[in-house]
Amino acid sequence: MYDVNSKCADDFIDHGEILETLAYADENKENIELIDSIIEKAKKRKGLSHREASVLLACPLEEKNEEIYRLAEQIKKDFYGNRIVMFAPLYLSNYCINGCTYCPYHAKNKHIPRKQLSQEDIRREVIALQDMGHKRLALEAGEDPVRNTMEYYLKSIETIYSIKHKNGAIRRVNINIAATTVDNYRLLKEAGIGTYILFQETYHKESYLELHPTGPKHDYNYHTEAMDRAMEGGIDDVGLGVLFGLDKYRYEFAGLLMHAEHLEAAFGVGPHTISVPRLKHADDIDPGDFDNGIDDDTFAKIVACIRIAVPYTGMIISTRENQKTRERVLHLGISQISGGSRTSVGGYYEQEPEDEKSEQFDVSDNRTLDEVVRWLMEMDYIPSFCTACYREGRTGDRFMSLCKSGQIQNCCHPNALMTLKEYLMDYASPETKAIGDRLIEKETLNVPNEKARAVVLENLRLIEQDNRRDFRF
């Protein structure tokens, strides 16, 4: 029985409710009056329910879809301006006891090299990441209670935060690890993580059980209720995501929004981020073996509809997608992208030899971080290396209320300019630096508050002339 407040996954992701939502969306997908009223509601920037958003997603009318895209673009601009936050994944270990049929780290894969970074390896990787200019990491690891222990994660986080190489520092560590207990989430919070990320993979329970035939991840309810436990453990920034391609995308879309609604109803804080990965080729995984792949147009529509339905949430796209796809969805709603990524365990410090490849998926965007930063700026985006909120205690409901009211922009824009300036000074190629300096000059004029603008100008000067770092609003 559907109950948004229930702590049981079967209730807040109720299968019957999703089926009714899809039927409702089918019945109304050409109902212009209803679609117009949903678009009008969305213009208030307070979001949409999963039923309303599902109608927009199902709508085949070209003219209405153009309106949806335009609105998504506008909402993206209103909440995020032209800033794009940069991050990189760091794979700690690919040991895994689960049997996920879509991931090459599944336990039955006996030929993929298994690796776990030692603290010394982590040091080397992090220095390499700092030397690229990264300030924000997403840690990734398989599930292996013997090797990938909580103790190991806590030590790794401590190591990462402790490394200060030249002007570099990792200032925010997000973590994407298997569902765990409230006590463990509490430990992660105390260790200073930013966002806890866990992809649902699929909200369709029956498919989920088939796609996860063995290992602890087989327990759908334990996995789906993980964010509730994370919140109970004090982690108030959580990141949702589904792996598009596993089940029908409209089912996943409704489930994803119901999950967001549940977190908002039960804890007063919706998801900090939503990721939109698509199934990709990897080692022994062929996306053609799965029936539900989505094309680029559908993918763009999903991004636009999520943007409209959950305006306050950050949206993440990884290097699973190529440059062209990333370009298309950036202005429809994406606010964070990875750059210069390696999806193997190790690989930043030194490339893996051909016969020792441990990638989780093939990377479709192989450009360096410098190239990605330049590309963004050439399209008039401001690449941001900002990590200020969590360090200023702006997390959970505090962050959400600032975000929903639009006030967060007063911090994001200046912080983007100052962290970009740091990047340009320390890591950029001369060509990138020249483009960036021009962009910063132009964008400083867009800091609306006169006092704040003066502070930004002074800090930019201190970064350039006095080699000072880490200013933030």
* Footprint on this chain of ligand SF4 (rule: CB under 6 A): 85, 96, 98, 100, 103, 105-106, 142-143, 217, 384, 386-389, 408, 411-412, 415
Matching residue, tokens 């680029």? 296
Is the Cβ of residue 238 or residue 388 nearer to ligand SF4 in the bound state? 388
**What DSSP string describes 156-210?**
HHHHHHH---TT----EEEEE-----HHHHHHHHHTTEEEEE---B-S-HHHHHH
For ligand SF4, the closer of residues 64 and 171 by Cβ is 171
Q: Which of 182, 273, 268 is nearest to 229 (CA)?
A: 182
Under 8 Å between Cβ of 412 and 83: yes
CB of 97 vs ligand SF4, minimal distance in Å: 8
Which CB atom, from 85 or from 92, has the smaller least distance to ligand SF4? 85
Shortest gap between Cβ of 89 and ligand SF4 (angstroms)? Answer: 12
Residue 213 near residue 207 (C-beta atoms within 8 A): no
DSSP state of 420: H
The neighbour count for residue 231, using CB atoms within 10 Å, is: 21
Closest CA to 391 of 62, 112, 90, 135: 135
| Residues 6+ away with beta carbon under 8 Å from 105 | 94, 95, 96, 112, 142, 360
Question: Do strands 273-275 and 193-197 pair parallel, antiparallel, or not at all (unpaired)?
Answer: unpaired
**Residue in 379, 384, 374 with CA at minimum distance from that of residue 435:** 374
Q: Which is nearer to ligand SF4, 51 or 347 (CB)?
A: 347
Alpha-carbon gap, residue 220 to 49, rounded angstroms: 24
> Minimum Å distance from CB 21 to ligand SF4?
27
For ligand SF4, the closer CB: 58 or 460: 460
Indicate the residue among 141 and 258 with the shorter CB distance to ligand SF4.
Answer: 141
Nearer to ligand SF4, 105 or 153 (CB): 105
- The DSSP annotation for 272-334 comes to SEEE--B---BTTB-GGGSS----HHHHHHHHHHHHHHSTTSEEEE-TTS-HHHHHHHHTTT-
Q: How far is the CB of 143 from ligand SF4 (least distance, A)?
A: 5
Rounded to a whole number of angstroms, the minimum distance from the CB of residue 284 to ligand SF4 is 11
> What is the token pair recorded at 51?
């039923």
Q: How far is the CB of 401 from ligand SF4 (least distance, A)?
A: 13
User: Least distance (Å) from ligand SF4 to the CB of residue 373?
Assistant: 16
- Give min distance, CB of 25 to ligand SF4, in A: 29
Q: CA–CA separation, 324 vs 365, rounded Å?
A: 9
Q: Which H or E element spans position 247?
A: none
What the block records as the tokens of 5 is 């407040």
- Specify the residue, 364 or 410, whose C-beta has the smaller distance to ligand SF4: 410
- Residue by residue, DSSP assigns 14-63 as -HHHHHHHHHHHHHHTT-HHHHHHHHHHHTTTS---HHHHHHHHH---HH
> What six digits make up the tokens of 433?
């630096």
CB of 217 to ligand SF4, least distance (A): 5
| 69 vs 390 by CB, closer to ligand SF4 | 390
Smallest separation, CB 176 to ligand SF4 (Å): 9
Q: Which is nearer to ligand SF4, 92 or 254 (CB)?
A: 92
- The residue with tokens 């200060």 is 164
